Amino acid sequence: MLDTRKRTGFDESHEQYRETVRKFIAREVEPYLDTWEADEITSKAFWRAAGNAGLLCTSMPEEYGGAGLDVSYDLIFQEELFYVNAPVGVSLQSLITAPYLLRYGSDELKARYLPGMVSGEIISALGMTEPGGGSDVKSLRTTARRDGDHYVVNGSKLYISNGLLCDLVFLAVRTGEEGAKGVSLLLVEADSPGFERGRNLDKIGLKGADTSELFFNDVRVPVSNLLGEEGQGFRYMMSELGQERLGLSIAAQAQAQRAFDEAVRFVKERKAFGTPVFQFQNTRFTLADMSARLQAGWAYLDWARLQLLQGTLTSEEAAASKLWHSETLWHIVDAALQLHGGAGYMNEYPIARLWRDARIHRIHGGTSEIMKEVISRKI
């Protein structure tokens, strides 16, 4: 299990919560990982169990069923889930959509949806990416035309995490002019007439989490389901990018730590020419390099988390974290698989799944190239 003894900025309450999370994962996650992988979707039962255990959206206020804690608790859950390589879409809800709703939603919307998001009865998705759009949210084509007390929504979304499971879509739509000022956010219930789910996309990795297409055909959405003000959706989405990218960084770091731990375990048990593989200089040097990168990664994350809590984490710092941890994960997981030799290419070993699942980190939440663009603007 992940060693947190060298971490900084966590108090006794955080560590007690971490132990609670680990017990929950051992009971409600690890026994089902192979089933979710085979089914290519996480069960709704997991979401309800996480909600019942008080592990979802812990930073939400108590009046909506949350615990009113700092975001560190949600980040701890993210870290521990990805250490066991459970690619469930919890962070999307706890770190992105619920904060959107809390910060920008009306009292009516918060009262209607937040308690269910905290309990796991409501699973959310973020409908941002479109075919051909990628990270360019300003050019989205899904439209919402005002018709009396409703918006009429038409368009499609692609690569949507929780798309098959979701009960509620935080949907980026165009309500006005071209560019960022014409983008708004609508809350669309999944049982709305005209809403359709597409196929569960066949991915290289992250098989245990659904990723789908969503279609909107003359979907009527009450104007009261507008999140905040019309034309402010792009600004709202950008406001939570730091927290989102820190969450992705933590996921990547946890997977890198697990890959390292698996490699150490394997090379100490595996023998070649009558000697444990660990005794070969190349093995020890490779592990030393991995260990140094991991130590630097944990130090950066603990620093960045404290900046986030203080409200001083810049977009460039969050992008640097996402870039560094994504690229470092790929370096470490590939080296760890190489140390496994032929065994690493076999699906029965955890490193094989880690290797497949790791590749997406250099793409989702903004590609490594986009992160470099963000960072370079301030140089």
pLDDT at 3: 64
Which are the contacts of 72, defined by CB distance < 8 A and separation ≥ 6? 9, 10, 14, 305, 309
How many C-beta atoms lie closer than 10 Å to residue 202's C-beta?
8
**Which among 93, 94, 42, 82 is positioned nearest to 329, based on CA atoms?**
82
Q: From CA 173, how far away is CA 153, in angstroms rounded?
A: 8
Name the catalytic one among 28, 80, 244, 317.
Answer: 244
At residue 134, the pLDDT reads 61
- pLDDT single digits (tens) 218-236: 999 999 999 999 999 999 9
Query: Count of CB atoms within 10 A of residue 30's CB?
Result: 12
**What is the pTM for the complete model shown?**
0.95
> What whole-number percentage of the chain has pLDDT above 90?
90
DSSP three-state, residue 363:
coil
Q: What's the pLDDT at 303?
A: 97
Per-residue pLDDT at 370 exceeds 80: yes
Residue predicted with more confidence, 7 or 293? 293
What's the first-to-final CA gap in the chain, in angstroms? 39
11-262-81 Cα angle (round to 5): 45
Residue 180: pLDDT band (50, 70, 90) is confident
Query: What is the reported pLDDT for 262?
Result: 97
For residue 41, which of 201, 208, 167 has the smallest C-alpha distance?
A: 208
Domain coordinates in residue numbering, the chain: 12-122, 125-231, 240-376
Say which CATH class 240-376 falls into.
mainly alpha
Q: For residue 57, what are its two tokens?
A: 């959206």
Asked whether this chain's domains 125-231 and 240-376 adopt the same fold, the reply is: no
pLDDT of residue 135: 58
Q: Is 244 a catalytic residue?
A: yes
d(CA 371, CA 246): 13
pLDDT tens across 119-170, in order? 999 999 999 999 876 657 778 999 999 999 999 999 999 999 999 999 999 9
Mean pLDDT, residues 87-116 taken together:
97
Predicted local distance difference test score (pLDDT) of residue 1: 46
Neighbours of 365 (CB within 10 A): 22
Decide if 240 contacts 91 (C-beta within 8 A).
no
Collapsing DSSP to helix, strand or coil, 370 comes out as helix
pLDDT value of residue 184: 97
pLDDT (tens digit per residue) in 26-65: 999 999 999 999 999 999 999 999 999 999 999 999 999 9
Mind listing the pLDDT tens digit for each residue in 314-360? 999 999 999 999 999 999 999 999 999 999 999 999 999 999 999 99
User: In the structure encoding, which two tokens stand for residue 128, read together?
Assistant: 């941002």
Residue 10 has pLDDT above 80, yes or no: yes
Task: Give the containing element (helix H, strand E) for 174.
Answer: strand 168-174
CA dist 37 and 45 (Å) reads 15
- Tens digits of per-residue pLDDT, 261-311? 999 999 999 988 999 999 999 999 999 999 999 999 999 999 999 999 999
Structure tokens, 198? 């597409």
Distance CA 196, CA 190 (A): 8
Q: What is the CATH code of the structural domain delimited by 12-122?
A: 1.10.540.10
CATH superfamily, domain at 125-231: Butyryl-CoA Dehydrogenase, subunit A, domain 2 (2.40.110.10)
Is the distance from CB of 97 to CB of 187 less than 8 angstroms? no
